[in-house]
Structure 1
Amino acid sequence: MPYMMISTLIRLETGPTYVGDAKSDPVLMNHLEATLTKEPGQIFEVYRTPLLPREVLNRLEKKGWKVIAVTGVGETCIWTLHRV
């Protein structure tokens, strides 16, 4: 899967960081110390890590992922990454 989105609430320095959904690569999710959880009010499961967004981005860069876009939506910051 060549694309990934990660997100966090606007308080970037504290996490948690959301790094995938139920169909994400479990080996990569393990590398990011992420666990599959279902957030209150959601109908789907997401991978969540206690790592800060900066730590997640650093780990993903070492695995060949590059940030291609960043945006803010409400109180959420979202990064889109791509791996060739």
Structure 2
Amino acid sequence: MPYILISTQIRLEVGPTMVGDEHSDPNLMSFLGAMKRNMLGNHFWEYYVNDAPRVVLNKLESCGYRVVSMTGVGQTLVWCLHKE
């Protein structure tokens, strides 16, 4: 999968960082040290790490990912990355 989204809440800029969903590449999630969880009330699973987004972005860059866009959505920061 060449695209990945990561996000964090503005009040949690030092982590945790959401790094994937239940369909994400398990090898990449393992590399990031991500844990899979299901938040109460959600019907889906997500991967997260306790690292700050900056740390996650550095790890993804070392794997060949580049930031395509970044935005704020309400109280959430979202980065879209692509790997060629």
AA of the residue aligned to 1:20: G
Aligned pair count reads: 84
The structure richer in helix per residue is 2
Matched, 1:34 2:34: yes
> Partner residue of 1:56?
56
- Deviation, 1:41, is 2.0
Matched, 1:69 2:76: no
AA of the residue aligned to 2:21: D
Distance in 1 (CA, whole Å) between partners of 2:72 and 2:12 is 12
- Deviation, 1:13, is 3.5
Structure 2 unaligned regions, length at least 5: none
TM-score by length of 2: 0.95
Distance in 1 (CA, whole Å) between partners of 2:13 and 2:38 is 23
Percent sequence identity over aligned pairs:
51
Distance in 2 (CA, whole Å) between partners of 1:69 and 1:12 is 20
